[in-house]
C-alpha cells in the first residue's frame, strides 16, 4: 500500500510540474513521512510477524487458517513441528486425519500436509468418521523413529471406546504408519493404589446414583480402576512427555474422565512398561499439559464441561511419580475463570531459552470446528508457581525468566 502510494506521488511530480511549485518542499516531505508511518503501522498491526495474537485467526504461509487443533509441538533439527487434528466445517470427527505444520520462529508456519490419514477400510480403527484427538509426536533417538500417540474413539461408538492410537514414521513429516490401538496397562495396578483399594469388593453397580459422597469416595479408592483392570484403563485427553533422562510418559484422562493417569513407556516408546500412577483421584481433570522447571514438574489441566470452557487447574510434584499437589487456577485477567475461553493442549519449552515456556490452548468452536482459534500465552512465575496472564499481543522477546 505504501509503495503504491509513493509511486503515485512520483508520477504526480513528474507529470504535473506545478505540484512542487504549489506545495512547499518541507510540507511535501512531511506528508510522505506521515503516510509512510501510517502504512507501516497498519502493516505491523496486521502482520503475523509482529508476534502472537491469542484467539485471533492464524494464517499459514499460504494465508489459510492453521488447521492443527488439540495439538502439540516437537522441536527437531532446529525446526518446530506442530501436529494437530484436522477439523472440518461441520464436524469434529476425523474426516481427513492428523496434520503437520513446520516453523523456525513459531510465528510463520508452513503446511506440511496430512501425516496420518484416515482409512477407507471400514474394518480399520481409524476409518473415516472415527475420532482422532490431541495428537502428540516424540522422537526416539535410539530407534530413529518418530512416534505418534493420539486419543482414539471408534466410529459409531461415541466416546465409549476411550483408546489410545499409536503410529510411527521414519520422517518427522510422515507419512506415519498406524500400528494399533489399545487401552493402557491391562492387568497392571498403579504404584500408588493400596492393597485394600485393589482388593475392595465395591463395584459400580453398587451405586444407583453418581456424585454422592459415598460414590466419590469409591471413585477415589479405585472403583473404575478395578472395573477396567483386566481390559485396560480408559484413555481420552492426552499428552506425551519425554524427561531429561530420555524416559517417555503418556499422561491421559481415565476412569470416566475422573482421574488422570501417568504411565511409563517402553524404551522404544511403542508400548508400556506397566509402571503407572493415578493423579488427583476423583478430581475430574482432562486436557493435561506438562512441563518441568528446575527439577519440579507442573501440569495444567481443565475441568470436564464438554466443549464449554472452565477454570484451569494447576498441579505440581517434586518427582514425575508424585506426590502431585493441586493448586488454584493459574490464570489472571479477563475470563481467567474460563481459561480465557480456551482449553489447554500442550506446554512448549522454547528452544535455546532457559526456563521459557508457552502455554498452548484451543478455543473450541463446535458449530464450525475449522474456525476454532488458538490461545498461546507465555508462562510466568509467581512465588515459584506458574501463572498465565492474558495478553492481546506478545512476542518471543517477552520470554525472559520472570518470577515476581
What mean pLDDT do residues 266-276 have?
98
Q: Are 403 and 382 in contact (CB under 8 A)?
A: yes
Architecture of domain 54-182: 5 Propeller (2.115)
- Confidence class of residue 40 from pLDDT cuts 50, 70 and 90? very low
Q: Which residue has the higher pLDDT, 42 or 176?
A: 176
Of 330, 340, 297, 335, the closest CA to residue 316 belongs to 297
- For 353-375, the pLDDT digits (tens) are 989 999 999 999 999 999 999 99
Asked whether residue 45 carries a pLDDT value surpassing 50, the answer given is no
In 200-253, where does DSSP find H-type helix? Answer: 213-220, 223-227
- For 376-401, the pLDDT digits (tens) are 999 999 999 999 999 999 999 998 65
What mean pLDDT do residues 1-18 have?
38
What mean pLDDT do residues 39-60 have?
68
Q: What does pLDDT average to over the chain? A: 90
Asked whether residue 4 carries a pLDDT value surpassing 80, the answer given is no
Asked whether residue 24 carries a pLDDT value surpassing 80, the answer given is no
Asked whether residue 31 carries a pLDDT value surpassing 60, the answer given is no
Would you say the pTM of this structure is higher than 0.85? Answer: yes
Rounded CA-CA distance 105/263 in Å is 32
Rounded CA-CA distance 237/163 in Å is 10
Name the β-bridge partners of 251.
Answer: 239, 262
List, in order, residues 6 or more apart from 7 with CB less than 8 Å away: none
- 79 phi/psi in degrees, rounded to 5: -135, 140
Show the CA angle centred on residue 134, arms to residues 87 and 258, nearest 5°. Answer: 120
What cell numbers appear for 365 in the block? 468452536
Domain extents for the chain?
A: 2-46, 54-182
**What is the DSSP secondary-structure string of 30-42?**
HHHHHHHHHHHHH
Of 297, 279, 188, the closest CA to residue 242 belongs to 297
Amino acid at each position: 500500500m505504501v509503495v503504491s502510494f509513493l509511486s503515485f506521488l512520483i508520477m504526480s511530480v513528474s507529470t504535473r510540474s506545478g505540484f512542487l511549485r504549489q506545495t512547499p518542499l518541507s510540507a511535501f516531505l512531511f506528508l510522505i513521512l506521515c503516510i509512510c508511518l501510517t502504512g507501516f503501522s497498519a502493516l505491523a498491526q496486521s502482520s503475523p510477524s509482529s508476534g502472537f495474537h491469542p484467539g485471533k485467526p492464524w494464517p499459514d504461509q499460504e494465508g489459510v487458517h492453521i488447521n492443527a487443533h488439540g495439538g502439540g509441538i516437537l522441536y527437531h533439527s532446529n525446526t518446530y513441528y506442530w501436529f494437530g487434528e484436522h477439523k472440518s466445517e461441520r464436524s469434529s470427527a476425523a474426516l481427513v486425519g492428523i496434520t503437520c505444520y513446520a516453523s523456525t520462529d513459531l510465528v510463520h508456519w508452513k503446511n506440511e500436509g496430512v501425516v496420518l490419514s484416515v482409512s477407507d477400510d471400514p474394518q480399520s480403527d481409524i476409518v473415516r468418521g472415527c475420532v482422532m484427538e490431541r495428537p502428540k509426536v516424540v522422537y526416539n533417538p535410539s530407534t530413529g523413529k518418530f512416534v505418534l500417540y493420539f486419543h482414539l474413539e471408534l466410529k459409531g461408538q461415541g466416546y465409549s471406546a476411550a483408546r489410545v492410537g499409536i503410529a510411527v514414521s521414519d520422517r518427522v513429516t510422515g507419512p506415519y504408519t498406524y500400528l494399533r490401538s489399545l487401552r493402557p496397562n491391562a492387568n497392571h495396578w498403579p504404584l500408588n493404589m493400596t492393597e485394600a483399594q485393589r482388593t475392595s469388593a465395591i463395584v459400580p453397580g453398587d451405586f444407583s446414583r453418581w456424585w454422592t459422597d459415598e460414590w466419590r469416595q469409591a471413585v477415589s479408592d479405585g472403583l473404575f480402576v478395578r472395573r477396567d483392570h483386566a481390559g485396560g484403563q480408559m484413555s481420552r485427553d492426552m499428552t506425551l512427555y519425554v524427561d531429561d533422562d530420555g524416559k517417555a510418559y503418556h499422561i491421559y484422562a481415565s476412569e470416566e474422565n475422573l482421574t488422570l493417569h501417568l504411565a511409563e513407556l517402553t524404551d522404544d516408546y511403542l508400548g508400556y512398561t506397566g509402571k503407572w500412577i493415578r493423579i488427583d483421584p476423583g478430581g475430574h481433570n482432562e486436557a493435561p499439559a506438562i512441563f518441568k522447571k528446575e527439577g519440579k514438574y507442573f501440569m495444567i489441566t481443565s475441568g470436564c464441561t464438554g466443549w464449554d470452557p472452565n477454570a484451569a487447574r494447576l498441579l505440581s510434584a517434586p518427582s514425575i511419580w508424585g506426590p502431585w499437589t493441586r493448586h488454584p487456577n493459574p490464570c489472571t485477567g479477563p475470563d481467567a475463570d474460563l481459561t480465557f475461553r480456551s482449553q489447554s493442549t500442550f506446554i512448549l519449552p522454547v528452544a535455546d531459552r532457559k526456563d521459557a515456556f508457552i502455554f498452548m490452548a484451543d478455543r473450541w468452536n463446535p458449530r464450525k470446528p475449522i474456525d476454532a482459534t488458538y490461545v498461546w500465552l507465555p508462562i510466568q512465575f509467581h512465588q515459584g508457581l506458574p501463572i498465565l496472564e492474558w495478553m492481546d499481543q506478545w512476542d518471543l522477546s517477552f520470554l525472559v525468566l520472570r518470577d515476581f
